[in-house]
Amino acid sequence: MTTGERIKCRRKELSMSAEQLAEKVSLSPATIYRYEKGDIEKVPADVLKKIAAALNSSPAYLMGWEVENKQPIPPGFQPLPKRDRIPRVGQIACGTPILAEENVEAYDEVPSDWHADFTLLCKGDSMEPKIKDGDVVAIHCQPMVENGEIAAVLIDGEATLKRVFLFDDHIELRAENPAFATIIRIGEAMNTVAIEGKAVGLCRRL
């Protein structure tokens, strides 16, 4: 089932017309129909999030990334926590949304209650000891974080993990490892930094 087919199926489950969905997400009904028919194959990440919210669903479900356990649970056993299959983002192609298909390197399964939208593979030791080289970090998409929180930040076309500190006239991106210098952007240069989401979980092999 395609993303468009899932959108249509979920809309029908809610007895919602295409016109009603279009109004909720500030799009034209024609655009909704084109998504559902597959005339527009790639739904922008920001639009997909709005559609998912309007349909009381999730981007992971609409994209077919959610993993569901449909096997019967034997008596005396607890079902495994629900998990989502989400994309792992690598090098970001210039001018493309972070979740664009060409930026996806692999897929990871994470607990659904993390509400994560994508993962990043940590390269290097700038965030040690908290996050080690080779760790996979789950990210929830949001345009802003609280000062001191670890975020996925887009700088010069590459996604990186740093602690974010935002001030009136500058932004600081601090590594966890004191051996690495703080990245500072002042004034208009702050616009070269894009916060893509908050780190919400760590996937590490023991």
Active site residues: 126, 162
Cα dihedral 147, 200, 163, 190, rounded to 10, equals -70
- Rounded Cα distance between 85 and 117, Å, is 9
Length of the chain: 206
Please state the separation of Cα 189 from the chain's center in Å.
25
Smallest CA-to-CA distance from 52 within 134, 117, 103 is with 117
Are 195 and 128 contacting, i.e. CB atoms less than 8 angstroms apart? Answer: no
Are 96 and 105 contacting, i.e. CB atoms less than 8 angstroms apart? Answer: no
Assigned token pair, 128: 């040690």
- Rounded Cα distance between 86 and 66, Å, is 8
Residue 158, classified by CB atoms within 10 Å of its CB into exposed (0-12), middle (13-18) or buried (19+), is exposed
Are 138 and 129 contacting, i.e. CB atoms less than 8 angstroms apart? Answer: no
Residue spans of alpha helices (H) in the chain: 3-13, 18-25, 29-37, 45-54, 59-62
